Amino acid sequence: RLVLGLEIEKSAIGDAERNCAVNNTDHCRFILGDIRESLSSLKINPDVMVIDPPRAGMHKDVLAKVMELATERLVYVSCNPATLARDLKALVSSGYKVEEVQPVDMFPHTNHVENIVALGMSG
């Protein structure tokens, strides 16, 4: 199975490629660029999407494309509960259902908590 990563930071792609080499993984490909353009240019419909947007949440164009793709499984990683709630409201209205939420305290003794949300298409 192909794993495709879309990333705006060149250094993050370099890190991912080095991790693939260290782990003898040859089924990963990476696209450098803004997800607003790269997601729209994809000619495949993924089985699973993992989305980790910035604090501002998903850009409205990205959110619209994700809802259009209607990928069966979606994992949303968020560091901002407010934008997570906003984006989940839109995703649920488009047919997704929240299956599980897992908070992760990566920064002890601060008010920052990552939330990982597993979603699936309802019906």
Active-site choice (62, 79, 84, 88):
79
114-121 vs 73-78, strand pairing mode: antiparallel
CA distances from 6 to 29, 46, 52, 121 (A): 9, 12, 11, 22
CA distance 58 to 18: 27
Known catalytic residue: 20? no
CA distance 26 to 2: 9
So which residues are the catalytic ones? 79
